[in-house]
Structure 1
Amino acid sequence: MSAGQASPAASGSREPRVPRDPVRALQHALYRAAKADPGRRFHALFDKVCRRDVLQRAWVAVRTNNGVRVRPRM
């Protein structure tokens, strides 16, 4: 494979990967903002949490798991 055919990640480019999924993009943006400023307070999350796509993703996750919360592995 030539250098022109390699993906940006394979060629050493440090461009951030942007998820195509809007919910993952929102999660990524919030993660980056929190990491950039650990003391930051997020005061206006209601509009982000109540987006139709976010609620749909949450509902599918709850229905798939029968509403049971699974503890993260340590």
Structure 2
Amino acid sequence: MVPDVFDKLFVGLLFLAIGVIYAAYPPWFDRFVRWVKSFDIDKEPDEFELSDGAVALIRYGGFILACIGGVITLAMAGRLLS
């Protein structure tokens, strides 16, 4: 039972970390997409820019991931401590 709890705790922490990164710092995602687009020979890297709606969607998605990760992490930590 303990390894299963540690696996779920790891998944919860992973979701929490990814969610915090996306919620707090969406320009990172924009730079990543620009870097990927820079390998396309037909487009310039500066042609791609995220709209305000896309940034908001990334932030809300990150917030939801962080909430899910936080709930999983707290539940698994509670199981370990009990």
TM-score (norm 1): 0.30
* TM-score of the aligned structures, taking structure 2 as reference length: 0.29
> Taking CA–CA contacts closer than 8 Å with sequence separation of 6 or more, which of the two structures ends up with the larger relative contact order?
2
More helix by share: 2
